Chains A and B, each alone.
Chain A
Amino acid sequence: KQEVTQIPAALSVPEGENLVLNCSFTDSAIYNLQWFRQDPGKGLTSLLLIQSSQREQTSGRLNASLDKSSGRSTLYIAASQPGDSATYLCAVRLYPGTASKLTFGTGTRLQVTL
């Protein structure tokens, strides 16, 4: 059974700092991994999707890496801003093709302070 763990559960950093969020999964036979952010009372916004054959994906100040063999992914946020405050979730998908279900971690709640 796939289990996804995110560390830390909560993080507070001052504006401008670079930070890393961690995600680990127990079954390395994943098809892809997706990072989301969730703002309070809102839905999930997809940030980055990494296929199992890829090592990293970048979008603006965000960089996600994937080490499938060790069951780890990291989300790097550069030059953090107060608007980055949200809960960040990683989720893995086991099967290709018709897009199987996602298995989620419990998330990291990030607060970026002024």
Chain B
Amino acid sequence: EAGVTQFPSHSVIEKGQTVTLRCDPISGHDNLYWYRRVMGKEIKFLLHFVKESKQDESGMPNNRFLAERTGGTYSTLKVQPAELEDSGVYFCASSFSRDRGRKTEAFFGQGTRLTVV
């Protein structure tokens, strides 16, 4: 079974440019999460989709960040325009929607390392 996959693995862009990150969750997982780790800090929650709906976007830092999950499958996270402080590793995770004990376990992708210069 394929795990959570993220594209690209690395991205280096200039300040002011736009970048779009993509996440393909595990097939059948209704829950999809975006997290971010900036240098020296802990991994922090950005937002949570249940299928195509945004369940919780309380962690989104500002309106330069736009997440979508069309059709409840893959998700994209767009940063426009990018700023220096957006640099970090962006993780995507997915899980089943039903509370079946271990089934709520979140599975993470390898992350996208974003560097804004």
Contact = CB atoms under 8 A, between A and B. Distances in A.
Contacts of B33: 101-102
A49 B103 CA distance: 10
A99 B91 contact: no
B111 A43 contact: yes
Q: Give the size category of B's interface with A.
A: 20 to 34
Interface string A1-20: 00010000000000000000
Interface in A86-114: 89, 91, 93, 96-107
Nearest to A96: B99
A89 B109 contact: no
Contacts, number: 69
Interface stretch (B39-47, B63-71, B72-80): B39-47
A32 interface: yes
Given A42-B110, A43-B91, A44-B91, A99 B44 contact: no
Interface residues of A, number: 27
A36 interface: yes
A4 B105 contact: no
Nearest to B31: A99
Contact of A34 (B4, B105, B110): B105
Contacts of A44: 91, 93, 108
A51 interface: yes
10 contacts: A4-B42, A41-B113, A42-B111, A43-B108, A44-B93, A44-B108, A49-B105, A98-B55, A99-B106, A101-B59
Interface of B: 4, 6, 30-31, 33, 35, 41-45, 48, 50, 55-56, 59, 91, 93, 95-97, 99, 101-102, 104-111, 113
